[in-house]
Structure 1
Amino acid sequence: MKKQAYNPYLPSWEYIPDGEPYVFGDRIYVYGSHDRFRGNAYCLNDYVCWSAPVDDLGDWRYEGVIYPKVSDPLNKDGSMCLYAPDVTVGPDGRYYLYYVLDKVSIISVAVCEEPAGRYEFYGYVHYADGTRLGERKGDEPQFDPGVLTEGDTTYLYTGFCGVGDRSRSGPMVTVLGPDMLTIVEEPIFIAPSEPFSEGSSFIEHEFFEAPSIRKRGDTYYFIYSSIVMHELCYATSKSPTKGFVYGGVVSSNCDMHIHSYKPARKPMYYGSNNHGSIIEIKGQWYIFYHRHTDGTNFSRQGCAELIKFREDGSIIQPEMTSCGLNGGPLAGKGEYPAYLACNLFCKDEEIYTPLEVCGWTAGSLK
């Protein structure tokens, strides 16, 4: 008998936010940051990987540590954290892990022969003259890499743009050659940051962080976290490097905008930053995201929901649930742990995770 799939989809003790899901062979693998229970900062642990059979999404397997933080030559003492990574398969069939360390603004790359083996440091993304991306005069800082490889070409999406920061122009895409490191087309901005969004389709949902890229049919979906933080939004284009138009919200980790069971502007969880992407698994599409636990920003757990597309390719925002990968409701019998609750009914209702969350009186499984 197959196991039921829950949200969060990993064990209660595991904290993998910023999830980037991929199907390799007959398994789905999730790569992400690695938070610590009751940690005092984001991403304190080494990179690990979890996987599950595509036909049994409740049966997750711990693949172990795939990349310790001390593996990067710039971080031999382990003083820097590994921020949100992404993985792609290169033209040579190897698996490439792109990431940033928390105190530098360049992109590091590691490589492995298999999806969840031990990755080895490979190099830094650089221009043809060897200058590292992010260190040339005029470069904007690199952050949150998302990658997509087509043939010999890899598209690298990066960026972080706070509200009101006029030094950041928006998310950028940089085109890499077959060695997965060397820039063959310099960074191009594909959407505006908040100070420069007037007249664009991105008003009120401007890019903040968490760029991710997927392709469905002939359409590229650029997934990102907007300036309101709790949202994952998307923009679409027929090109990977230009023409992106805002599409809507894919997910909110406090269920904002959902008006099927509540007013659209009523938060049903304590939200905060969000990061994830969409993936097709056996003909069904899902959004992977994270939600915040233990009343803190720093202990985030991965969740997933089934998503539906309209005929025009737009996405219908799903509700947060306790059973996103389950293919239906949880069995109405037995006992379930409280951490599966997708709604918190609290004395103090807030959109964002406060410094302290207390007084919540009930949970909701749906």
Structure 2
Amino acid sequence: MKKQVFNPYLPLDTYIPDGEPHVFGNRVYIYGSHDKEGGDCFCLLDYEAWSAPVDDLTDWRCEGIIYQAKQCRHYCEERQDMYAPDVVQGNDGRYYLYYDLSGRGDHGFDGPISVAVCDTPAGKYEYYGDVCYPDGRPMQRFIPFDPAVINDNGHIYLTYGWGLGMDTHAPVMRKIMPGIMSKVFNKTVEEIRQEEPQSILGANFVELCGDMLTVKSEPVRILPALNNAKKGSELRKHSFFEAASLRKFGDLYYFIYSSHVNHELCYATSKYPDHGYKYRGVIVSNGDIGYHGRSAKDRLAATGTNHGSIEYINGKYYIFYHRLTHNTAFSRQGCAEEIKILPDGTIKQVEMTSCGLNGEPLVTEGKYPAAICCNLTNGKMPHLSNVQKGKYSPNVNHEGNTRFVKDLENKTLVGYKYFAFSGKTNVKVVTRGASGIFCVMTEPGKIIAEIPLEASGEWKESKSVSFMAEGVKPLYFEYRGRGKADFLKFILTGRES
């Protein structure tokens, strides 16, 4: 089979969410947090970088661990988890990694933003310092979380911030929220009530000096969280929550972020880096919510946090984002899709696919892991958070060194987009668990073949069935049966088998 790349674009045992893509030289590098496979909390592992040649996005290489939490001077029992980072090349040619060393409970959002430095994009970074005021005090204005950095013709711009998925100005919340936020964000009630009348919640901007640490001025608010978004506006429906990322394409600054509904990456644009941002739309949702009007109850996969950004790679624009696995919010995998930036600067929402960075549809010849599905739904998929799990929903999971789709129940749909069909195609699947059938479709609801599944406690390959299809189409398998089945892989051939 020809060399191809799928979504997720890294190996199936790799969990690098919150991906910030950057082209340095002739390679694109991915900097993200690092989840544990089957973990019980976000970002449990040290930073691991990956890269690929800009002219071959099928050829990803692991650069190894580039920075360890214990290298940070703030590392302690209460602070061990490194959240979403970003990297920028400074004017001195070195590379600077911005991050939060956070902890569970009372130390998740109180900063500071720390910085590590390296002579190469993916070498061994060393702790450098913390973002600070000219007098050396750590800069902890607003909520120092999810830092993102760009070098704009020698100007170093930092964005950061956090929000809540609720209106803290609502009458029922006004009295109790300052006390709650004081504990969560480790700020006094006076700071929350008096020093930040515009709210500590929202997206913020500040310019850094040439030392890459010192702020030139006080940070400014560039996008509000839900509590201060204008009622009735489109922004109110897609207000800032987290995942700040700043990019510049042409003469427009693009601020990419995750909204308070959590599953989508949105964007706002401005001609200025520090003000004037206007909400423009959704780029991608990890449940395809909003794509062609799809509602949240009809999500095509379990949804949850989303974080990523846009990069221009070898003449094309791509959005990097992540999906969820294991029926929790804590094992996330990076995905990517090609996008188009129209002449007016707008971006139309794209759907999740299995072919992602491949540049073309997948071929109908070879073995495919079931876990590269872009759609996985039983018609009632959950939205997952750090307090909510989808215990009984189908999900991508693992046992030992095996990754597979787990807990298919009656009428669960598993989808792969897209394949280039050219007539007769043969397909067989490897499953275990309950007996039943796989209904094969290239359109939901239109069955073109049926694959009988035998009950088995071990992985078992089915008989091959054939179907006819022409052109670029999805490939769906819908499980019909009384029990639950697991799905390991499928094999396609264009000849008798």
- What letter matches 2:8 in structure 1? P
1:355 matched to 2:357: no
- What letter matches 1:310 in structure 2? L
Secondary structure of 2:266 counterpart: strand
Equivalent residue for 1:322? 354
Equivalent residue for 1:153? 155
Equivalent residue for 2:488? none
How many Å apart are 1:41 and its aligned residue? Answer: 0.3
Equivalent pair of 1:106/1:141 in contact (CA under 8 Å)? no
In structure 1, what is the Cα distance between the partners aligned to 2:279 and 2:272?
14
Equivalent residue for 1:249? 282
The answer to which structure, 1 or 2, has the higher relative contact order (CA under 8 A, 6+ apart) is 1
Equivalent residue for 1:332? 364
Equivalences for residues 242-321 of structure 1 within 5 A: 242-259=275-292, 266-321=298-353
1:131 matched to 2:137: yes
- In percent, how many aligned pairs have the same letter? 51
Query: Could you tell which deviates more after superposition, 102-111 or 32-41?
Result: 102-111
1:49 matched to 2:49: yes
How many Å apart are 1:351 and its aligned residue? Answer: 4.5
Equivalences for residues 9-88 of structure 1 within 5 A: 9-75=9-75, 79-88=79-88
- What letter matches 2:119 in structure 1? E
Q: Which has the higher strand share?
A: 2
- What letter matches 1:302 in structure 2? G
Q: 1:123 to 1:263 in 2, by over 3 A?
A: closer
Structure 1 residue runs of 5 or longer lacking an equivalent are: none
Equivalent pair of 1:3/1:56 in contact (CA under 8 Å)? no
- Whichever of the two has the greater Rg, that structure is 2
In structure 2, what is the Cα distance between the partners aligned to 1:338 and 1:362?
12
| Correspondence for 1:220 among 235, 253, 263 | 253
Equivalent pair of 2:143/2:201 in contact (CA under 8 Å)? no
Deviations 1:288-337 (A, max 9, x none): 00000111100000000010122211001111000110011111122200
In structure 2, what is the Cα distance between the partners aligned to 1:263 and 1:122?
46
How many Å apart are 1:79 and its aligned residue? Answer: 4.5
Give the TM-score of the pair, scaled to structure 2: 0.70
Query: Could you tell which deviates more after superposition, 76-85 or 284-293?
Result: 76-85
Equivalent pair of 1:201/1:245 in contact (CA under 8 Å)? no
Equivalent pair of 1:96/1:112 in contact (CA under 8 Å)? yes
Secondary structure of 1:336 counterpart: strand
Structure 2 residue runs of 5 or longer lacking an equivalent are: 170-198, 395-406, 418-497
How many Å apart are 1:76 and its aligned residue? Answer: 5.2
| Correspondence for 2:209 among 174, 177, 183 | 177
Equivalent residue for 2:416? 365
Equivalent residue for 1:140? 142
Count matched residues. Answer: 361
How many Å apart are 1:350 and its aligned residue? Answer: 3.5
Deviations 1:215-239 (A, max 9, x none): 1100000000000000000000001
Q: 1:4 to 1:226 in 2, by over 3 A?
A: same
Q: Which has the higher helix share?
A: 2
Equivalent pair of 1:169/1:189 in contact (CA under 8 Å)? no
- What letter matches 1:40 in structure 2? D
Deviations 1:141-199 (A, max 9, x none): 20000101124421110101112346434110011110000111210000111111125
How many Å apart are 1:101 and its aligned residue? Answer: 1.1
1:120 matched to 2:126: yes
